[in-house]
Structure 1
């Protein structure tokens, strides 16, 4: 009889547990183009031939997933896909009425990561990160590092919502809120679902358009779990963005029962022609997305070269109303710092949205 206290070596083969592969969207997100010279090379563009002076030392960094760059046409300086992200020296111009906080986010910053600008709704800035850096972004100067929505801030926000039953809708914003991983997203949604007066969770995201691989079955199931109705507002400015992978992602969201809207920004030389807006609305509707808002450019410092004159906006919108059915005409709006609502363009001037 063997009475030794030494451990007998177990030679039974053990099952090797491999780490779970990284989701495709995270791989694409980490493979980015952040250098303007490289972007020009990939798109077969000679900087010497650029129609406008380029900014190779941009203070607002260039950021594009390589997968998005691959969807852009080659040798085309005027591509609507490119112009939204191309850093120009014009961004350095200081233009009157263009500021670093054009919509009053700073004054509406109730506490870390939480903005209360509208009646019955609050915004949670779930992250300061975006998959892309749109050159016209109204939060391009926002100090996200000074307003993180960490676990402590989330609890403060939840307590605020609990104490204010008039808040019926929570808006997930950022950055892009869908850059938050599924597990963390589910935790926040669960906590909001415990508050019976919260009826809707609205998610504003560019990812279905710029990183459609983010729309996974796991994400869909995470959102379907919510008691509060999920509303998804995508951001597409031009029909050329809505290619096959994007359309498939949108159809997946629609089939899963989510209400889909689009908001766009009116941008000079990108979507300032009636045909551009008509094609965008038609293509969105074909993919189960309702045109929701068409924003006049927010007056953010660095984006003045995208702005249209008011007479141009008025003429475009009148023509748009003349050729599209009402349900395909997005509301043309602007946001004014300090106002508790967006303002609707009507009869050549802005009026309050009702």
Structure 2
């Protein structure tokens, strides 16, 4: 039951605050303080409302509340697991594919997911692009006519004010060779009040379409306020896609995935990608195996609508790109989770998982 808005807490950013609200056990605070010293913590009032503190396996809590297991760093885990750095020609730009770039205007989020692949780059105090850096990033896009699509990410770009968002959208719309702006965000379900009328207007470009890709991993993230925020976007003519991460103990069963993807479609969001867990530091307790993920995707076929079927993908470590985890790109090379993965350019890479 949602609280009276007047009694809602502000975003919780300290583990002591989490304990005070009954979200973590006080005895765990020393370990959780060590986690928070490495990886940022933020839990919005909306997420607090969605967590069931009486359920130790609550799938919303697992995504946003710090866990002592994050202190276990495995040898294969990486600070930059998808390889952004080698493809960063100017600050704020990642240009891995010829026809599209990432534009990262901010490195902060309204919430910090415990499995985030950029968890060592984001958080309070992380660098946002200043005016000169944003100018340089947009000049790079304008100077490379092969770029057709710009993906706003970060951080979460929808923490920008409507004014700043509108300015960026307008500047991108003024670049003749661009055909699409895509925004990757969690805001509609984790901080839905940000999706107000001003933000909706800011997102709509005069010339090219803006698509919003919502990151959501479990149907329980869709509260009534979140559904209303999504409706404001879609009713305004902004198409939405959904992407999720496959995670142990959160959504690694057919029933949860089915209900999650159906919830997306019921809210006029097309499931787009189901991402295999990245090798981010301190996230091994979330990762499934590739074999488990492929078996789940096979089980979804037949009795679950095609509209509810995302593509199961791997972002190959080292910046080699995303590929579907199908026979066309994946070959087993051993009996213990060893694979050979072909990247989009035909080069093969070993992968264990």
**Into which bin does the TM-score normalised by the smaller protein fall?**
0.7 to 0.9
Give me the whole-angstrom Cα distance separating, in 1, the residues matched to 2:173 and 2:23.
50
Q: Which moved more, 1:281-290 or 1:180-189?
A: 180-189
Deviation at 1:340, TM superposition (A): 5.2
Match of 1:123 among 91, 97, 102: 102
| Change over 3 Å in CA distance of 1:339–1:140 after alignment to 2 | closer
Between 117-126 and 148-157, the greater mean CA deviation after superposition: 148-157
Query: Which residue pairs with 1:202 in the alignment?
Result: 182
2:337 aligns with: none
1:61 aligns with 2:1: no
* 8 A Cα contact 1:173 1:204, kept in partner: yes
CA displacement, residues 146-172 of structure 1 (integer Å, 9 cap, x when unaligned): 864221122212222222111001110
**Aligned position for 1:177:** 157
Q: Which moved more, 1:36-45 or 1:307-316?
A: 36-45
Between the aligned partners of 2:122 and 2:65, the Cα distance in structure 1 is: 22
Alpha-carbon deviation of 1:345? 0.9
3-state DSSP of counterpart to 1:104: coil
Name the structure 1 match of 2:139.
159
What is the correspondence of 1:107-122 to structure 2 with a 5 Å cutoff? 107-122=86-101
- 2:120 aligned with 1:141: yes
Q: Which residue of 2 aligns with 1:250?
A: 230
User: Are 1:79 and 2:58 counterparts?
Assistant: yes
Deviation at 1:83, TM superposition (A): 0.4
CA distance in 1, matches of 2:21, 2:170: 43
CA apart distance, 1:57:
2.6
1:115-145 deviation line (CA, Å, top 9, x unaligned): 1112211111110110011010000112787
Residue equivalent to 1:39: 18
Between the aligned partners of 2:126 and 2:184, the Cα distance in structure 1 is 21
Query: 1:65, CA displacement in angstroms?
Result: 1.6
Residue 321 of structure 1, CA deviation: 2.2
**Native 8 Å contact 1:63 1:132 kept in 2:** yes
Aligned partner of 1:192 in structure 2 is: 172
Q: Aligned partners of 1:245, 1:331: CA distance in 2, in Å?
A: 28
Show structure 2 runs of 5+ residues with no match.
332-340, 346-353
Count of residue pairs brought into register by the alignment: 325
Q: Is the 8 A contact 1:265 1:296 kept in 2?
A: yes
Shift of 1:285: 0.4
58-67 or 283-292, which deviates more:
58-67
Q: Hey, what's the Cα distance between the residues in 2 that align with 1:120 and 1:175?
A: 22
Would the alpha carbon gap of residues 226 and 248 (structure 1) be closer, same or farther in structure 2, given more than 3 Å must change? same
CA-CA distance at 1:351 after TM superposition: 5.5
Aligned to 1:6: none
Counterpart mapping for 1:219-234 below 5 A:
219-234=199-214
Once the 2 structures are TM-superposed, how far is the Cα of residue 54 of structure 1 from its aligned partner? 5.4
Identify the range of structure 1 (70-79 vs 298-307) with the bigger mean alpha-carbon deviation. 70-79
TM-score normalised per structure 1: 0.85
Tell me by how many angstroms 1:70 deviates.
2.3
The alpha-carbon deviation at position 68 of structure 1 amounts to: 2.1
**1:339 Cα shift?**
4.7
Distance in 2 (alpha carbons) for counterparts of 1:302 and 1:314: 24
Is contact 1:172-1:204 (8 Å) kept? yes
Query: Do the aligned residues in 1 keep the contact of 2:81 with 2:318 (CA within 8 Å)?
Result: no
**Displacement after TM superposition at 1:224 (Å):** 2.2
Between Structure 1 and Structure 2, whose CA radius of gyration is higher?
Answer: 1
Q: Which residue of structure 1 aligns with residue 300 of structure 2?
A: 320
Deviates more, 1:139-148 or 1:275-284: 139-148
